[in-house]
Amino acid sequence: MAGSPGTREHAATVRILYVAGSGRSGSTLLGRMLGQTGGCTSVGELVRIWKRGAQRRVACSCGEPFRRCPLWAAVGEAAFGGWDTLDARELVALQRSVDRARYVPFMLLPAAGRGYRQRLSRYTDVLRRLYTAVADVTGADVVVDVSKRASTLFLLTRVPGVDLRVVHLVRDSRGVAYSWTKSVAKPEATGPARYVGRFHPGVTAVRYLLDNLAVWLGAVIGVPTVFLRYEDLVAAPRDELSRLLRFAGARSDELEFLARGAVQLAASHSVGGNPRRSEQGQVLLDRDDEWRTRLPRRHRLLVTAVTLPLLGAYGYLTRRGER
């Protein structure tokens, strides 16, 4: 929930609350919850807007086709004079040419080649216009983006006119690994590609390590960052959301959608995220510790060994972490 469309006072700076970390850590739920607070609007995984929205025209989480969704139609008009003025394929290619893990050193160091600098300048200008339009159309003071991708985090530090703040969201690595072994259907897809890809727990463990270390690097270089465990969010949602909102500089007095052990989700406007991004109504807040009984012992030991330093740093090897 944010201000009424068009009510945001024009400002040169757009404040972005970027949720970073590893997939299957609860970012979709966190984004939905933040998006229902005063002053914030959540756009889901905005990193997917060019391929899923502008190119494939996948439905918005509100149920409308992307270009017919009132919010996204207004955003496209405000940012670019309409989505039809853009070459979606070209933007997908441009994004791939600047926003990948291999390019992070070029984002941080001044030694990038001229060609990359030109592509980066062009793409960051596109992002500036997009985020500004989202804020202006929704009237929000804070745009919540749950893309999680570490390279996008560093890319956003190069976007002019952006006040970037990061939520480093983590979940027990063994729960993350188990989640990636399950078959999860995409509500908008049919045929062989109707399921989200699955990964071996060993692969997930390595990705978990790299993803979270990259977010830590962002904090080291000075990106304002706040740490949040998914398990703490579902145990004390009011306290944790209030803490995040204070960090973001947003109002924290509109949390009436929270109930004991549950959250009441309204319709949202997301172009990417967990297949449950379209869910509405009451949703139970659950730690989802199914991995404790369903993840094979050999996989549990493997994931624990690979991610042991982070499990310790995040408190998952203490009694508090096991609560």
Q: Give the amino acid at 44.
A: G
Number of H helices, E strands in the chain: 13, 8
pLDDT above 70 (res 7): no
Average per-residue pLDDT for the chain? 92
Q: Residue 5: inside a domain, yes or no?
A: no
Which pLDDT score, from 0 to 100, does residue 252 have?
Answer: 86
User: Which residues make beta-bridge pairs with 59?
Assistant: 65
At residue 280 the predicted structure's pLDDT band, cuts being 50, 70 and 90, is very high
**Nearest-angstrom CA–CA distance, 281 and 275:** 15
Look at residue 273 in the predicted model and tell me its pLDDT. Answer: 78
Q: What is the average pLDDT across 197-207?
A: 95
Contacts of 46 (CB under 8 A, 6+ apart): 130, 131, 145, 147, 271, 272
Structure tokens at 277: 């991004």
Q: Give a yes or no: residue 320 inside a domain.
A: no
Question: Is residue 115 included in any domain, yes or no?
Answer: yes
Q: State which residues form the domain around 57.
A: 14-313
Over residues 220-230, mean pLDDT: 99
Does a structural domain hold residue 263? yes
User: Which CATH number covers residue 179?
Assistant: 3.40.50.300
Residue 1 lies in a domain: no
How many CB atoms sit inside 10 A of residue 238's CB?
10
Asked whether residue 323 is domain-assigned, the answer is no
In a domain, 218, yes or no: yes
22 has a pLDDT exceeding 50: yes
Q: DSSP states of 294-316 as a string? A: HS-HHHHHHHHHHTHHHHHHTTT
* Average pLDDT over every residue of 278-298: 96
Q: Which is more confidently placed, 3 or 95?
A: 95
pTM to 2 decimal places: 0.94
| Percent residues over pLDDT 70 in the chain | 92
Q: What is the domain count for the chain?
A: 1
Listed range (30-39, 108-117, 157-166, 189-198) with the worst mean pLDDT: 189-198
State residue 186's pLDDT score. Answer: 60
Would you say residue 236 lies in a domain? yes
The fraction of the chain above a pLDDT of 90, given in percent, is 82
